[in-house]
A and B are shown apart, each in its own frame.
Chain A
Amino acid sequence: MEIIRVHNLVKKYDGLTAVDHISFSVKRGEIFGFLGPNGAGKTTTINILSTLLQPTEGEVYVNGFNVITQKNKVRKSIGLVFQDPSLDDRLTAEENLYFHARLYHVPHDEYQKRKEEVLRLVELWDRRKDLVKTFSGGMKRRLEIARGLIHHPAILFLDEPTLGLDPQTRSHLWSYILKLKEEKQMTIFMTTHYMNEAEYCDRLIIIDYGKIVAFDTPTNLKKAVGGDIIIMESPEPQKLKSELKQKYSLEAKEENGGITIEISNGKTFLPRLFDELETKVTSVSLREPTLDDVFLHLTGRKIRDEEASPLDRLRQHHFRRHR
C-alpha cells in the first residue's frame, strides 16, 4: 500500500538541478529515510512533497492526492517538522499548539485532549505555560514534533529532526518516534546526515547531487558493501597488500596509513589470517559495515568530508536566528 508516490521528479533552481529525475514510493506505516550530504536535495524534496515548492517536472502523489492540483488535501494529510526552527518564540508552548490546531481546524475539545497527550509525550507538559523563548534547542525541537502531531497527520515529515541535539536527547527523541510509529501507525518520512539514525529506517534512499544512488533496507545496503571490514596496520604496507592479493586474491585499500579489506565472513577469516600471514602486522581491527561505508562504496567519498560538524551547524543555526 503506497502512501507517497514520486515519479521522475525534477527541481531546478535557475541553473542548478537540485533534484534530478528521482522516482520512489513510500509504504503506509513505514519509516522512510533520505540520507545524503549537505545540498544533496533532501529539503528540496520535502518542500515539494509538502506543497511548499513547485516541482519543475514529474508527478507526486501524497496520501493519494496530487501535490500541484490538490494542495489543500495534501496539506491536511501531513505534519511537518522543518529543518529550520519555525516556532513563534514570543508565544508560549501551549499557544503555539493552539495556533496550529486552529489552522488545522482541530475541534476544541479534541484539541484539549491531544494537547495533553502530545505534550506529555515530549515531556513538556510542565512547561506548557512558558514562553518558547525560554526553551533550550532540544525542548524547541521536541515542541515542534508535538506540534506536527496534534492534527493527527497520516504522514509526518521530519527534516533532520535531531539537528543540533545532544546524543542523549537524540536517542530519547528516537524512542518517541519509534513509539509513534507503533502506536499511531503513522508513516514517517525523514531526512538525516547521521548514519546511525538512518539505521532506524525501514527503507532508505541515499541521495547525492539530487540523484538516488541507492534505495533499499539498511541491512541490504550494508550487505552490498561486501561484508565485514578488516583494518590492519603494518610497517610494510606494500608487502602486506601484495601478500593479501597473492594468497587470497583480495584487493586491499590503503587509507590513513591502514590497510583495509572487505570480506564476507570476517570472524572466521581472522584466525586463518593470523596463522598464514608472513608480513608483520602491528594492529588489527574488525568491524561490521556501516552506512558510512555504503556511502563511501557508492560515491567514492566520505559523507562527512563535505559537511560541517554538528556543532558548527548548531552555531550557524543560532547565528541565523539571532541575527
Chain B
Amino acid sequence: MEFRRTVEAAAAIWQREFIRYWRDKTRIISTIIQPLMFLIIFGTGLRSTLARGNFGLDFVQFMFPGIIAMSIMNVSFFSTISTVWNREFGFLKEILVAPISRISITLGKIFGAVTIASIQGFLLLILAPLLKIKLHPLNFPYLLLFMILVAFSLASLGLLIASLMKTTESFGLMMQLLIFPMFFISGAFFPLTSVPWWMRLLAAINPLSYGVDALRQILLRYQTSGEALKSVSLHPLAVNALFLLIFSTIIVMMGAIAFNKKN
C-alpha cells in the first residue's frame, strides 16, 4: 500500500514535469538549436584549422557525441534547478505539505528530468545523418541506455546540489563552477587519452567523461576505423556503464537523504 502510494505520487510529479516541458515549445527548440550552433561553429572552425590530418576522425563527428552529452547535462541540471526555483515560487510547498513520502518527490523529480533529457538527446540523434553519421538501428538501444544513465547521474547530482543550496544565486554559482569544468574535461572537445595526470584524475570522477566516451564509441563504431576510434577512447563500454550506474546510485541516495533532511 505504502509502496503503491509512493509510486503514484512519483508518477504525478513526473507527469507534471513532462507536461511543463512539452508545453514549452520555445525551450524545446532552443535546447536543440543551442547545441547545434555549438557544433557547427566549433566543429567547423576547429576542423578547418587545428584538427586536420593526423586525427583520423572528422572533427564534427568527433564532437557530436559530446554535444549530445552536453545537451543532456544542461537539461538534467535545468530540470533540477526548477526544484529550487519552485521553492521560491511556492509550488514546492504544495508538494511538501502533501501526505506523500519525500522519496517519491525525489524520484518523481529525477525521473522527470531523465525523461526530458533523454527526449532531448533523442531529438539531437535524429539529426545525426545531417552530419554524415549513419545511425545504425542496432545502436539505438545502446545509445538510449547511455543517455538515460548520463541523465540519471546528472539529474541526481543536480538534485543533491539543489537540496544543499539555499538560494538560486548560490545554485547558479555552483552550476558555473561545475558545468564548465565538467563539460571541458569530458572528452567532448579533445580526447582525454593523452592529457596530463591531473586532468585524467578529474576526468576519472567526472560522470560526463564516461558518458561521452560511451556515446562516441557506439555512434561511430560502424563507420570509422577501429584504430582511430580506439585512439580516442578511454574505457570499454561495460566499464562506462558500470561507473555511471554506481555513481548514480550513490548520488541519488545522497540526494534523497539531503532532500529529506532539508524538508
Contacts and interface: CB of A to CB of B under 8 A. Distances in A.
Interface of A: 50-52, 72-73, 75-76, 78, 80, 82, 84-88, 90-91, 95, 99-100, 102-105, 321
Contact of A103 (B12, B20, B23, B24): B12
Contacts of B20: 88, 90-91
B132 interface: no
B23 A90 contact: yes
12 contacts: A52-B93, A52-B97, A73-B99, A78-B97, A82-B94, A86-B91, A87-B94, A88-B20, A90-B19, A100-B94, A103-B9, A103-B98
Give the interface centre of A90, A99, A104 by most chain B CB atoms within 10 Å.
Answer: A99
Contacts of B24: 90
A104 B8 CA distance: 10
A104 B9 CA distance: 8
B91 A103 contact: no
Contact of B16 (A51, A76, A91): A91
Nearest to B9: A103
A76 B101 CA distance: 12
Contacts of A103: 9, 12, 95, 98-100
Contacts of A72: 99
Q: What are the 9 A-B residue pairs with the smallest beta carbon separation, nearest first?
A: A86-B90, A102-B12, A75-B99, A103-B98, A76-B99, A84-B90, A86-B94, A72-B99, A90-B20
A145 B29 CA distance: 36
A78 B99 CA distance: 10
B98 A95 contact: no
Contacts of A321: 89
A75 B94 contact: no
B98 A104 contact: yes
Contacts of A102: 8-9, 11-12
Given A84-B90, A87-B91, A52 B16 contact: no
